[in-house]
Amino acid sequence: MKQIDHIGIAVNNMEASIARYEILLNTPCYKRETVESQGVETAFFKVGDSKIELLAATSPQSVIVSFIEKRGEGIHHIAFETDDLRKEAARMQNEGFRLLNEHPQPGADNKEILFLHPKDTGGVLVELCQTKPVQDPS
């Protein structure tokens, strides 16, 4: 693993949460994005070498809805960046960690992502992420 890429925070109201975190972190939200496959809207804040990602549900089926119903708003996951997502996922599985998704999925901020089962990580939802390679337009 290279570093902590971001900490994901589940929120009910994206607009109010962005305003709150802009004050809290004393920095503007630099990016907003919807990830249809995950059913979430995201907003990002740069904090040193890491980021804070706010996550709000875009549909009633979003995992954010069930998360907030069970636990309320708050930290949803911690994401670790890796240079080789598939290799790191294989290493985790060989060490006994279960993956929540078998194959990498598209995530926000130009990432491919995989999640580890929180029962294997002390109750913390861990995301492994890798920046997608830049496509040559030619």
In a domain, 137, yes or no: no
CATH of the domain at 88: 3.10.180.10
In a domain, 55, yes or no: yes
Q: What is the mean pLDDT of residues 107-111?
A: 93
In a domain, 138, yes or no: no
pTM for the predicted model, two decimal places: 0.90
Structural domains of the chain, count:
1
pLDDT digits 0-9 by tens, 19-56: 999 999 999 999 999 999 889 999 999 999 999 999 99
With vertex at residue 71, the alpha carbon angle to CA 116 and CA 22, rounded to the nearest 5 degrees, is 90
Domain span including residue 44: 3-131
In a domain, 48, yes or no: yes
pLDDT digits 0-9 by tens, 64-78: 999 999 999 999 999
Take residue 110 and report the two structure tokens written for it.
């130009």
Residue 1 confidence (pLDDT): 79
Question: Is 137's pLDDT higher than 70?
Answer: no
Question: Is 86's pLDDT higher than 80?
Answer: yes
In a domain, 16, yes or no: yes
